[in-house]
Amino acid sequence: MKLVPNWLETGWKALTRPIAAAFVRMGLRPNHLTTLGLILIVISAIFYGSGHIRLGGFFLLLSGWTDMIDGEMARKGGMATTFGAFYDSTLDRIGDGLTYVGIGAFFLLYPADLAWRQGVVVLCMVAIVASLTVSYTRARAEGLGLDGKVGIAQRTERVLGIGAITMFGGYGYRGIVLSSVILILTLLSLITIGQRMIWVHKQTKGA
């Protein structure tokens, strides 16, 4: 089960194909877009941390789009490489952490009147661990020759969930919108970890 419906993901990918083809014709490579995606996430984290929540969401969504474009370029342009896959996955993990660092920094530095702000900072720390573990469980399963791509909250859901809601909803009244997004995504990430552990156990049962 995925939170992002297949029709939305399919439609979004359809929009990336002509752009990916144009980039290939320009001589760009997937790793160029992967690097650009990380730069956009760094910009997003800086905006989050400095209190410009809507801009942070915008640049986070933009980084997610470049992540889809580099994959399309690799597949359709015949430029998929082992290092490219490694490079893309590594920068994705860095990006996941930076997003929560930026949001955590915002709650740590700015809304001094919020009674629960310290709790949200701790929640961001938990979210970092959870998001990295979600990715690790899949990578470890696949490294053992098993299927690990299951779960309700994969990277697409995290990027869209944080990016879209904060771009349109911003900080929200007394930080309720932003802190609620982090709480929900953290819980969904923990559920996903459990789902993947159960799924891998089923595949190895009796082995």
CB 144 within 8 A of CB 38: no
CB 193 within 8 A of CB 130: yes
- Position 1 pLDDT exceeds 60: no
- Position 9 pLDDT exceeds 80: no
CB 177 within 8 A of CB 171: yes
Confidence (pLDDT) at 68: 84
Mean pLDDT throughout 156-183?
Answer: 85
pLDDT tier at 121 (50, 70, 90 boundaries)?
very high
Q: What are the tens digits of pLDDT across the range 126-160?
A: 999 999 999 999 999 998 899 888 888 877 778 88
Confidence (pLDDT) at 3: 58
Confidence (pLDDT) at 12: 66
CB 96 within 8 A of CB 155: yes
Question: Over the chain, what is the mean pLDDT?
Answer: 87
Q: Which residues are CB-contacts of 202 (< 8 A; sequence separation ≥ 6)?
A: none
Class of domain 6-204: mainly alpha
Q: Taking the alpha carbons of 38, 143, 7, 21 in that order, is the dihedral positive or negative?
A: positive
Write out the catalytic residue numbers: 92
Q: Whole-prediction pTM value?
A: 0.87
